[in-house]
Copies of this chain bind each other. A is one copy, B any other.
Amino acid sequence: MVGADAAGMSAAHTALRAAAGADREVGITVLEATGHTSYSACGIPYWIAGDVPGGEDLVARSAREHRAAGIDLRLGTRAVALDPERRRVRVEGDGGPDELEYDELVLATGAAPIVPDWARTAAGGLVEGVHPVKNLDDGAVWTGLLAEAGEMGGPTRAVVVGGGYIGLEMAEALIRRGLTTTLVTRSRVMSSLDADLGAEIEAALVAGGVDLRTGRTVERLETTDGRVGGVVTDTGERLTTDVVVLAIGVEPATSLGAAAGLPLGVEGGYLPDPGGRVAPGIWAAGDCCEVTHRLTGGRAFLPLGTHANKLGRVVGDNLLGGDRRFGGALGTAITRFVAGGVHLEIARTGLSSAAATAAGYDVAALVTIGTTASGYMPEAEQIQTKVIADRTTRRLLGVQIVGGPGSAKRIDAAAAALWGGLDVDDLAGMDLAYAPPFATVWDALQIAARRLADRL
């Protein structure tokens, strides 16, 4: 395995279990360029916010545990070349230089944060005070940069560049750490949701204390003694800041396979088949892949631990002759913004209106406002639900949710309905759970589905 995070280690342990079950021997070597294994990248903003005591708490399984399970784990070791014909990998670093033979190779190299030119020094490094939020080393940099937040002389201002999941989660973390926070985003916030719900999210961010700049790009930084002091946007506005979060996105880390001639998708990711194969003897899983979208049948770059774990498990079984298949992704995602007295939850699944139209559907969509509990209960919070369906077939295509505490995990019922290929009438009619502290008698999701169904 190349890469020791979710996908690679899921594959490794699944293969070990499969081998043990079949009373076979299997020798597994894992190459990992960093010093970390099996950590939750999604947890890093909460570490920075102070919810999680330390980076070690984000580690699901330590190097020692992996080795105790019988895995030859080589940290600080980078795979630098791949020869698919001879089935060999050349490695450098602490576990090299060496050339390793393999019977089966799993590419689980993940994704790398996009770092724009303006964030770099002339020497190619990052300007001091400017950093992405991707791995545990990044998390440690951030806890260092913010160590004196709230103290005399500590950082007081932050700029977050990027309005996606990480951008929002970092805006929450920074406001909760007491920094005056500006968020700059090229288009709008959470552009994976439709614009109407995006506007609700933007209003909540502003209410929670985010100084928002949508439709803006960063032109350049201002620095003093090599350290960031300001951000200049394309309108010429200068934002004074002590730190800059790079949350522009990530891209698949596929240079190893690309150099070896493996096919890549339009987003630059590997293209595993449902069983995880990319070439004879070569498999891929995790954020370095474009996964199959269950609704369109096409590829999508959806870097998320859920797919990494699931595809890693598929690969781990199939490596030893199994016949497991990845069922596809729906694009389900969830996050929250909880700061400055605001508690907003956000979730989506399936196709957005734009994506559904692009996929050729005759799109009908409607936003319905409901409550998370019976209106007379103290738990009741507003929930806005957008349901997207095909006008002709009535098939459910997507659901998006923006609301208060208890809103967002409702997306799972919609995801399950999409997984089953159900229609909007099924969602409206199905037997969801009701009691006053938990829902209205027609759950908010069902009111939304019913209203759309009535208009089709």
Q: Which residues of A contact B (CB under 8 A)?
A: 6, 40, 42-43, 46, 51-52, 57-58, 165, 294, 304-307, 309-310, 326-336, 338, 347, 349, 374, 376-378, 406, 408-417, 419-422, 426-427, 429-439, 441-443, 445
Are B429 and A310 neighbours in the complex by a CB distance under 8 Å? yes
Given the known inter-chain contacts A419-B430, A430-B415, A434-B306, please indicate yes or no for A409 contacting B330, CB distance below 8 A. Answer: no
27 pairs, CB–CB < 8 Å, chain A vs chain B: A40-B376, A40-B436, A42-B374, A42-B436, A46-B376, A46-B437, A51-B377, A57-B376, A165-B435, A294-B431, A305-B434, A306-B432, A306-B441, A310-B429, A327-B430, A329-B431, A331-B431, A333-B435, A409-B433, A409-B438, A410-B412, A413-B415, A415-B430, A416-B427, A419-B420, A419-B426, A420-B420
How far apart are the CA atoms of A435 and B338 in the complex, in Å? 14
Given the known inter-chain contacts A40-B376, A412-B443, A416-B417, please indicate yes or no for A434 contacting B51, CB distance below 8 A. Answer: no
How far apart are the CA atoms of A46 and B376 in the complex, in Å? 9
A437: which B residues are within 8 A, CB to CB? 46, 336, 338
Are B334 and A442 neighbours in the complex by a CB distance under 8 Å? no
In the complex, the chain B residue whose C-beta lies closest to that of A313 is: B450
How far apart are the CA atoms of A208 and B410 in the complex, in Å? 28
In the complex, how many angstroms separate the beta carbon of A425 from the nearest chain B beta carbon?
8
In the complex, how many angstroms separate the beta carbon of A380 from the nearest chain B beta carbon?
10
In the complex, the chain B residue whose C-beta lies closest to that of A54 is: B376
Q: Which of B40, B412, B413, B445 contacts A374 (CB 8 A)?
A: B40
A431: which B residues are within 8 A, CB to CB? 294, 306-307, 327-332, 349, 415, 419
A435: which B residues are within 8 A, CB to CB? 42, 165, 333-336
Given the known inter-chain contacts A432-B412, A441-B6, please indicate yes or no for A52 contacting B349, CB distance below 8 A. Answer: no
How far apart are the CA atoms of A411 and B441 in the complex, in Å? 15
In the complex, how many angstroms separate the beta carbon of A421 from the nearest chain B beta carbon?
7
Are B433 and A347 neighbours in the complex by a CB distance under 8 Å? yes
A42: which B residues are within 8 A, CB to CB? 374, 434-436, 441
In the complex, the chain B residue whose C-beta lies closest to that of A6 is: B441
A432: which B residues are within 8 A, CB to CB? 306, 332, 412, 415-416
A376: which B residues are within 8 A, CB to CB? 40, 43, 46, 52, 57-58
A410: which B residues are within 8 A, CB to CB? 409, 412
In the complex, the chain B residue whose C-beta lies closest to that of A42 is: B436
In the complex, the chain B residue whose C-beta lies closest to that of A429 is: B327
In the complex, the chain B residue whose C-beta lies closest to that of A327 is: B429
Apart from the given pairs A406-B409, A419-B422, A419-B431, 17 other A-B contacts in the complex at a CB distance below 8 Å:
A40-B441, A51-B378, A57-B376, A294-B431, A305-B441, A327-B426, A329-B431, A330-B431, A332-B431, A332-B432, A334-B433, A334-B434, A334-B435, A408-B433, A412-B413, A416-B422, A419-B420
